[in-house]
Chains A and B, each alone.
Chain A
Amino acid sequence: MPDSIFTVSPAPHIKSGLSSRKIMYLVALSLLPAGIAGVYIFGLSSLKVIALSILACIASEAVFLKLRNKDPMVALDGSAILTGLLLAYNLPPEIPFWIPVIGGVVSIIIGKQIFGGLGHNIFNPALVGRVFLQISWPVYMTTWKNPRWAVDAVSTATPLAREGAASFSYMDLFLGNHGGCMGEVCILALLLGAAVLLFTKIISFHIPASFIGAVMLFGWIFGGEGFFKGDFIFHLLTGGLVLGAFFMATDYVTRPLTKKGKVIFGIGCGLLTILIRLRGGYPEGVSYAILFMNAVVPMIDRYTKTRKYGFVQG
């Protein structure tokens, strides 16, 4: 199986129904550990959010395909499910039921179908939905719930919110023992899934490595009082960095084609993430950073075009 996948993964412009479907389901599978961890940490309400989000995505995809006179069954090709899953992972675990529903509809219709459906979208659909929700209902989107075994289970600031920092140990952050979005808190589970994707060569290491590397580097340089004093491990373990770097920045449709381009893309994402985290009005910058870099992908591709035979190493 790795062989058959290897032939499609570096060339996103080749669209073959079967392979992309297989890849979509594999990515969704690799996201399972993080989901299980989320449900375990925050309780069954997170499961409800995941289900609503996926259902909304599939339903709106099917309706829109029907409107465009296409086969509505294409909605089950796995991409809508993946979008719904990623969107749910980016939401706080306890949130009014209509928020994941609206998020799913916006993701699919504004993020994907308006551009022409799978393969034509400029931006990562799940992130479009998430950012729409984040800007529209910031109070709900930043009301975090503590893990269900915590004494004060109502709401807390995410570690990234400036005053909540420093009260968490690295181990708590790594295992997800703190408030946050349901799919991004447990770094361990995310890394498990990421390892599967890397091992099966569905994703290459270029984007995640340069993205995370850049966040740690710039976080170290600019994150503290004075230069080179930032807590870069904190920046690595909090927010949606790991989820974003491995599962969302690497989306086939919205990333650059060449290795060199991917590295530029990753570094750009990292720099913007740190910039927004440290200076922006919102606590988390990963989604905005990836969306912004999505927009410049055509330009990156243009300047990192490969020669006729094989790749030029970056």
Chain B
Amino acid sequence: MNNVLKFTLVLFLVNLVAASILAGVYTVTRPRIEDQKRLLQEKALREVMPEDIGDRLELTEDGYWKVFRGSGYTPKGYVFIAKRYGYSSVIETMVGIKADGTITGVQVLSHNETPGLGAKIVEVVTDKTIVKALKNIFSKKKELEKKISPYFTEQFKGIDVRSLDMGSVDAITGATISSKAVVDSIREQGLEILNAR
């Protein structure tokens, strides 16, 4: 028997079976994967823009979102992405502001700052200790889980974006440059959007 033909046939069959199995798995998982992706983006947007300020987000041509409530036409707030070079990388944040300039939330989307220093802009401190977790399992009275978010970006909430500077937030120890990049980029981008409306 012709070897080349045999090899081709075997490989073809193996691939055929593999491809059909994968096609099956893909069809089953695709809707769920897309759901997850959408959820993730929505979650990020919701995180910086609470529902009670506006529930309808509209992407503008300049790359930021206008936030409306119900069927209203005046924007109740804006969501934008701010970028600035920090210490060793571009720090990208998603920021939500109300129409009057008050910051409703900040989330760091991407960065590559020095671990332990600049990277602390996304650090989350948890007070869940092993002892507490064990106690929680064995006691009937469950302690309510506190929602934890990165403490650095948390302090931006409620500050007027126009007056945001290094004095209005606590910079991260040893990472003044990264902290300043976040603060400055948010203020400048926010001012631009507020002035442009």
Contact = CB atoms under 8 A, between A and B. Distances in A.
B116 A137 contact: yes
Interface in A98-148: 135-139, 142-143
A162 B117 CA distance: 15
Contacts of A138: 114-117, 174
A96 interface: no
A225 interface: no
Contacts of B173: 139, 143
Given A137-B116, A282-B114, A163 B177 contact: yes
Ordered nearest first, which 10 A-B pairs have the shortest CB separation?
A: A138-B116, A281-B88, A281-B114, A139-B174, A138-B117, A142-B174, A139-B173, A163-B177, A143-B174, A282-B114
A135 B174 CA distance: 13
Interface string B162-197: 000000000001101100000000000000000000
11 contacts: A135-B115, A136-B116, A138-B117, A142-B174, A143-B173, A143-B174, A161-B177, A162-B87, A163-B176, A163-B177, A282-B114
A224 interface: no
A142 B118 CA distance: 12
A135 B115 CA distance: 8
A32 B176 CA distance: 34
Interface of A: 135-139, 142-143, 157, 161-163, 280-282
Nearest to A163: B177
B113 interface: yes
B177 A135 contact: no
B87 A281 contact: yes
Contacts of A143: 173-174
Contacts of B114: 138, 281-282
B85 to A, nearest CB: 11
Nearest to B114: A281
Contact of B117 (A142, A163, A280): A142
Given A138-B117, A139-B174, A162-B177, 16 more contacts: A135-B115, A136-B116, A138-B115, A138-B174, A139-B117, A142-B117, A142-B174, A143-B173, A157-B176, A161-B177, A163-B176, A280-B88, A281-B87, A281-B88, A281-B114, A282-B114
Contacts of A157: 176
Contacts of A161: 177
A227 B118 CA distance: 29
Interface string B80-119: 0000000110000000000000000000000001111110
Nearest to A280: B88
A135 B116 contact: yes
Contacts of B117: 138-139, 142
Contacts of B113: 281
Interface string B107-141: 00000011111100000000000000000000000
Nearest to B89: A281
Contacts of A280: 88
Contacts of B118: 281
A280 B112 CA distance: 11
Contacts of B88: 280-281
B152 to A, nearest CB: 14
Contacts of A281: 87-88, 113-114, 118
Nearest to A137: B116
Contacts of A135: 115-116
Contacts of B87: 162, 281
Contacts of B177: 161-163
A136 B177 CA distance: 20
A186 to B, nearest CB: 24
Contacts of A163: 176-177
A142 B174 CA distance: 7
A282 B113 CA distance: 10
Contacts of A139: 116-117, 173-174
Nearest to B113: A281
A163 B178 CA distance: 12
Nearest to B120: A139
A137 to B, nearest CB: 7
A116 B29 CA distance: 54
B1 to A, nearest CB: 53
A281 B114 CA distance: 5
A280 B88 CA distance: 7
A131 to B, nearest CB: 13
Nearest to A141: B174
B64 to A, nearest CB: 30
A136 B116 CA distance: 8
